[in-house]
A and B are shown apart, each in its own frame.
Chain A
């Protein structure tokens, strides 16, 4: 599953950072390792764990909810508890799943910083962290959604969720019109990162 097509511009191998602030960060890191606060191996393991998280985790949860009504009920009632069934644990944060319907479209932001359920969705996109998204999506969500190619009909409620404290959010997109015979992994492959944030509403019926 990939929500980037191959025309996306990869940044070339990042040159070493030279800004004062970046070097401050790297210097801190070296001092902490020298002081034994943590080790380079622990750092490597932490980075590997963070890089291992991706929207495929969120997609698995969505596919299970599409297939299993009672799981969906549990997920919507208490997301943090329900995802433990799939091996995920976000505690002490409260994981909150927002169901898109014919009547409601949900979209998520953290205006104050960029809180994001990294364990379930991987690294947040640059645009999610951007000032323009954070400033505008709370005030003119439909205009911002239009920039993402999403038009929400006027009779559908757009509900913006500003992740201001200890909750982390994921949208449960509407299931596309697909065969009932698709397996859970096949369903999960249809779910994109942006649909889990709310900057995509319709999912394709095939990859």
Chain B
């Protein structure tokens, strides 16, 4: 390939593959990490430590399979949560009905606290 004619860019392999895409100014504002976000982070590491997940690659793969719309609208740790759910459901560590029941339970708990 001639160095004077740069190769046409390869297509992104997923919504995460964004190096070089047009984007806006960097927002430098500092944001504290919320407690629930720390809990998601800890969950990943503990799940790996305890063998429920084998590798960070499982987390990343799940995030990469999000639709572009979801990838953009979900926050960083929301993406982690979605990916972890996908991985743990796939492995049968949790069932989708148990997960849905638990989500409903948490919502009720939150509602009763308001």
Contacts and interface: CB of A to CB of B under 8 A. Distances in A.
Direct contact of A and B (CB under 8 A): yes
B33 A123 contact: yes
Contacts of A138: 19-20
B52 to A, nearest CB: 5
B39 A133 contact: no
B30 A125 contact: yes
Contact of A132 (B26, B32, B39): B26
Contacts of B41: 47, 50
A130 interface: yes
B27 interface: yes
Nearest to B89: A28
A204 interface: no
Interface in A112-143: 112-114, 123, 125-127, 129-136, 138-139
B110 A21 contact: no
B6 interface: no
Given A29-B39, A30-B106, A126 B45 contact: no
Interface of B is mostly: helix
Most buried by B among A24, A51, A111, A131: A24
Given A31-B99, A144-B26, A147-B25, A162 B81 contact: no
Interface string A1-25: 0001000111100101111111111
Nearest to A42: B46
Nearest to B49: A38
A148 B31 CA distance: 17
A27 B102 contact: yes
Contact of B38 (A19, A50, A125): A50
Given A16-B36, A20-B103, A46-B42, 13 more contacts: A17-B34, A22-B36, A23-B106, A25-B84, A27-B103, A29-B39, A32-B46, A35-B94, A113-B63, A126-B30, A132-B26, A136-B23, A162-B19
Interface of A: 4, 8-11, 14, 16-32, 35, 37-38, 42-43, 46-47, 50-51, 111-114, 123, 125-127, 129-136, 138-139, 144, 147-148, 162
